[in-house]
């Protein structure tokens, strides 16, 4: 009688093992085996991290194995099991891989197919077609769209983390409990004693050092020492937490009446302002998105303020980007233009206001909307429209790991009404929601493709703007990702026709457009993909958004925002409308009080930490793909990423301000924190 060897690998995460009864049925082209109990006498089967092998004897020739069915029946109590993958050795000596990477709950069965990726048009047998259809029907019941707030990208239909399908939950919910993490951060940072001192002002800048944790030779300490300098202010637009705002100025806006006479002292080439603009030496950052956004009113004892400044910058003879003019409101009436030649504290406060506005746009638009919420849209659409056998599912699943879970946690604890966001941020209490709705109107496909985004801001010229490391490293990672996506697409799609005829792929893209982008034609998001080239760009955008772009705007938060005056989460006095009245005491009164400072510090600390067991770009320990050509493409991708790591390490040597957020060994595969 024919005999098969079945090897089962159990996950190594907490509680992955099981004591339940596990049964397997082999389904072949010629017949179906009996249900076989996988059990070895006097042996503890399916322990966490175990690899267990069993002989399964069948009474007849089953033909080509098409599917395997795994059933779990309760032994004693509720005992979920995480199965990584199953290998079946046939009587002919062939090895068939069945990727699983799923939790199997009480008395539940799952049906797996062999791991070779197949497009829907390549499935010939009725068995495979039916399995494919059933898998998507089941997933569409599990992964439902829901509107968290009118106008937002749709999100997962789950009120809290424990409502999510088990497969996409965190291994340990404690690790991503924001309230727990903030409290832990407060303890780590030794700021517990200040935590509840809301409304209590600091006495001077030095006073902020009481909550500043000194870690020698880090960027955060360098920021604390140099934050007042114009160079440090300008540098952050290129390589700080939010390096996506600065653009080349081709014309001074009408509502920002800067004249040559105002900035003449700052222009080192002895040219006119118009000539400097023509030469490409003038840059602008405009925070018009913040105009009229409601400031936080959740604390009746503290009035909080938001400004919508415009800042003009100049590339000096040393190629440093320096601020030369700041207006703190979009309307020039009653809003003076602050200049470096103004009184010391006038100019300092103007820069602090810009830094505070930058913090709001960074947190709500660059970070929350454009990396977290967007990646969740890709993830939900992927689960709803692509079966596990689809090559695009296999390619994208490592890049959406834990994203739906972290976002659900954020809606539960962070950005909800009375959530942690309200504690310290001027955009709390609803302002952040208004800001997302506004940003949605400017949200375009082109602006998410890094090469296009850089060109749109006219920031692509390396000779003209030599120290823009976010651009340089980001383009290297983008190109490596694009080449990897192209290698994978070339394996499965032989022509543009194959792309346009892939109904599952088209359903995935349509789901993203309809539910994620809310049918917004102006977004430029494709409703269909017609060519291989479009598919490669689309997949690169998905992977880069979830990995490189999120890393660039997330993991520098402690470095750049822990020194409160450099990145105030709120301001407690309105922007000045006259020059010559600002004192050091007034600035301290404007800055966040002790309690809000501590909550902010805990937040940027917690958000800057990597997940436990983080998986970094290019490392795919879950083997969803079984084909050698894809594994070869993965190895090539890793090699390209290693070259980028070496380049960045060499460049950063002896730099006082190293830029490492886009070094692939620091880029997690997915948005998971």
β-strand partners of 67: 27, 113
Q: What is the DSSP letter of 134?
A: H
Cβ neighbours of residue 219 under 8 Å, at least 6 residues apart?
556, 559, 560, 657, 658
Mean pLDDT of 273-297: 97
191 neighbors 211 (Cβ within 8 angstroms): yes
Does the pLDDT of residue 344 top 60, yes or no? yes
Q: Give the Cβ contact number of residue 334 at 10 Å.
A: 8
Q: How confident is the model at residue 173 (pLDDT cuts 50, 70, 90)?
A: low
> Which sign, positive or negative, has the C-alpha torsion 447, 441, 560, 372?
negative
pLDDT in tens, 510-522: 999 999 888 989 9
Q: Provide the pLDDT for residue 213.
A: 60
Does the pLDDT of residue 435 top 70, yes or no? yes
Residue that has been written with the tokens 């089962």 in this structure: 8
396 neighbors 541 (Cβ within 8 angstroms): no
Mean pLDDT of 377-391: 98
CA 551 to CA 566: how far, in whole Å? 21
Q: Provide the pLDDT for residue 193.
A: 53
Q: Provide the pLDDT for residue 600.
A: 84
Residue that has been written with the tokens 């494709």 in this structure: 526
CA 133 to CA 114: how far, in whole Å? 16
Q: Answer with the residue of higher pLDDT: 170 or 323.
A: 323
Q: Provide the pLDDT for residue 607.
A: 84
User: Phi, psi (5° rounding) for residue 329?
Assistant: -150, 155
Mean pLDDT of 649-672: 96
Mean pLDDT of 376-387: 98
Does the pLDDT of residue 174 top 60, yes or no? no
Does the pLDDT of residue 183 top 80, yes or no? no
Closest CA to 554 of 372, 422, 282: 372
Q: Where is average pLDDT lowest: 246-250, 592-596, 651-655?
A: 592-596
Q: Provide the pLDDT for residue 182.
A: 62
Q: What is the DSSP letter of 41?
A: T
Q: Provide the pLDDT for residue 35.
A: 94
Does the pLDDT of residue 217 top 80, yes or no? no
Q: In the structure encoding, which two tokens stand for residue 170, read together? A: 């965190």
pLDDT in tens, 587-607: 999 999 888 888 888 888 888
CA 415 to CA 429: how far, in whole Å? 9
β-strand partners of 616: 668
588 neighbors 277 (Cβ within 8 angstroms): no
Does the pLDDT of residue 195 top 60, yes or no? no
Closest CA to 426 of 180, 600, 246, 563: 600
Whole-prediction pTM value? 0.95
CA 671 to CA 367: how far, in whole Å? 10
Q: In the structure encoding, which two tokens stand for residue 275, read together? A: 């000539």
Q: What is the DSSP letter of 330?
A: S
pLDDT in tens, 94-148: 999 999 999 998 777 899 999 999 999 999 999 999 999 999 999 999 999 999 9
Sheet holding 81-89, edge to edge: 51-57, 3-10, 81-89, 95-104
Q: Any long-range contacts for 145-148 (C-beta under 8 Å, 24+ apart)?
A: 145/380, 145/515, 148/411
374 neighbors 367 (Cβ within 8 angstroms): no
Residue that has been written with the tokens 């760009």 in this structure: 537
Q: Provide the pLDDT for residue 490.
A: 98
Q: What is the 3-state secondary structure (H, E, C) of 230-267?
A: HHHHHHHHHHCCCCCCCEECCCCCCCCCCCHHHHHHHC
Does the pLDDT of residue 673 top 90, yes or no? no
In 3-state terms the chain splits into helix, strand, coil percentages (rounded to 5) of 45, 15, 40
Does the pLDDT of residue 615 top 80, yes or no? yes
Percent of the chain with pLDDT over 70: 94
Q: Provide the pLDDT for residue 212.
A: 58
Does the pLDDT of residue 215 top 70, yes or no? no
Q: What is the DSSP letter of 124?
A: -
Q: How confident is the model at residue 646 (pLDDT cuts 50, 70, 90)?
A: very high
Question: Residue 451, exposed/middle/buried by CB under 10 A (0-12, 13-18, 19+)?
Answer: middle
3-state SS, residue 338: strand
Mean pLDDT of 247-251: 98
Q: How confident is the model at residue 175 (pLDDT cuts 50, 70, 90)?
A: low
Mean pLDDT of 18-41: 94
Q: What is the mean pLDDT of the chain?
A: 92
Percent of the chain with pLDDT over 90: 79
Q: What is the DSSP letter of 280?
A: T
Q: In the structure encoding, which two tokens stand for residue 342, read together? A: 């103004």
Q: Provide the pLDDT for residue 606.
A: 81
CA 256 to CA 326: how far, in whole Å? 9
258 neighbors 264 (Cβ within 8 angstroms): no
Closest CA to 510 of 491, 484, 496, 529: 529
Q: What is the CA radius of gyration of the chain?
A: 28
329 neighbors 339 (Cβ within 8 angstroms): no
CA 287 to CA 289: how far, in whole Å? 5
Q: How confident is the model at residue 1 (pLDDT cuts 50, 70, 90)?
A: confident
Q: Provide the pLDDT for residue 487.
A: 98
Mean pLDDT of 212-217: 54
CA 552 to CA 219: how far, in whole Å? 15
Mean pLDDT of 539-543: 98
211 neighbors 597 (Cβ within 8 angstroms): yes
């Amino acid at each position: 009688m024919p005999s098969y060897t079945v090897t089962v690998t159990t996950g190594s995460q907490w509680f992955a093992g099981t004591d339940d009864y596990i049964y397997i049925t082999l389904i072949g082209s010629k017949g179906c085996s009996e249900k076989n109990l996988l059990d070895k006498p006097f042996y503890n089967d399916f322990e966490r991290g175990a690899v267990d092998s069993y002989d399964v004897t069948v009474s007849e020739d089953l033909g080509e194995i098409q599917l395997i069915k795994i059933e779990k029946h309760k032994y004693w109590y509720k005992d979920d099991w995480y199965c990584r993958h199953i290998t079946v050795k046939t009587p002919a000596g062939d090895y068939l891989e069945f990727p699983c990477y799923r939790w199997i709950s009480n008395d539940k069965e799952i049906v797996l197919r062999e791991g070779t990726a197949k497009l829907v048009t390549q499935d010939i047998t009725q068995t495979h077609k039916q399995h494919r259809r059933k898998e998507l029907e089941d997933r569409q019941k599990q992964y439902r769209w829901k509107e968290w707030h009118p106008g937002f990208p749709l999100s997962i239909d789950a009120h809290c983390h424990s409502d999510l399908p088990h497969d996409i939950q965190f291994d340990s919910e404690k690790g991503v409990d924001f309230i727990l993490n903030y409290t832990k951060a407060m303890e780590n940072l030794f700021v517990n004693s200040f935590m509840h001192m809301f409304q209590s002002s600091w006495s001077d800048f030095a006073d902020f050092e009481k909550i500043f944790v000194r870690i020698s030779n880090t960027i955060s300490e360098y920021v604390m020492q140099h934050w007042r300098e114009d160079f440090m202010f300008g540098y952050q637009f290129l390589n700080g937490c939010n390096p996506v705002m600065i653009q080349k100025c081709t014309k001074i806006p009408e509502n920002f009446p800067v004249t040559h006479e105002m900035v003449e002292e700052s222009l080192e080439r002895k040219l006119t302002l118009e000539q400097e603009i023509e030469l490409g030496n003038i840059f602008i950052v405009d925070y018009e998105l913040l105009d009229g956004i409601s400031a936080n009113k959740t604390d009746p004892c503290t009035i909080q303020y938001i400004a919508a400044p415009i800042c003009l910058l100049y590339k000096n003879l040393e190629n440093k980007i320096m601020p030369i003019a700041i207006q703190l409101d979009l309307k020039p009436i009653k809003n003076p233009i602050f200049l470096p030649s103004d009184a010391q504290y006038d100019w300092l406060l103007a820069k602090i206001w810009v830094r505070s506005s930058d913090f709001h746009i960074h947190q709500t638009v660059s970070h929350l909307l454009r990396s977290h919420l967007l990646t969740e849209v890709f993830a939900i659409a992927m689960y709803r429209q692509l079966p596990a056998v689809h090559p695009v599912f296999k390619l994208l699943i490592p890049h959406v790991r834990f994203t739906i879970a972290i976002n659900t946690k954020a809606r539960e604890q962070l950005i909800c009404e009375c959530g942690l966001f309200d504690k310290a941020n001027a955009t709390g209490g609803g302002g952040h929601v208004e800001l997302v709705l506004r940003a949605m109107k400017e949200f375009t496909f082109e602006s998410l493709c890094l090469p296009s985004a850089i060109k749109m801001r006219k920031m692509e010229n390396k000779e003209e703007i030599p120290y823009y490391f976010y651009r340089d490293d980001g383009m290297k990672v983008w190109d490596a990702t694009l080449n990897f996506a192209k290698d994978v697409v070339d394996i499965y799609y032989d022509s543009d026709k194959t792309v346009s005829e892939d109904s599952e792929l088209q359903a995935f893209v349509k789901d993203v457009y309809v539910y994620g982008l809310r049918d917004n034609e102006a977004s430029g998001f494709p409703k269909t993909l017609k060519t291989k080239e479009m598919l490669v760009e689309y997949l690169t955008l998905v992977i880069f958004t979830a990995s490189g772009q999120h890393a660039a705007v997330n993991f520098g938060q402690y470095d750049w925002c822990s020194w409160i005056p450099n990145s105030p989460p709120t301001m407690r006095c309105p922007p000045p409308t006259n020059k010559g009245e600002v004192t050091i005491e007034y600035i301290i009164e404007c800055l966040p009080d002790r309690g809000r400072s501590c909550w902010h510090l805990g937040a940027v600390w917690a958000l800057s930490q990597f997940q436990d067991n983080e998986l970094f770009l290019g490392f795919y320990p879950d083997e969803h793909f079984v084909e050698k050509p894809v594994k070869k493409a993965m190895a090539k991708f890793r090699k390209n990423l290693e070259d980028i790591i070496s380049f960045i390490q060499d460049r950063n040597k002896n730099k006082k301000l190293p830029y490492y957020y886009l070094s692939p060994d620091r880029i997690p595969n997915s948005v998971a924190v």
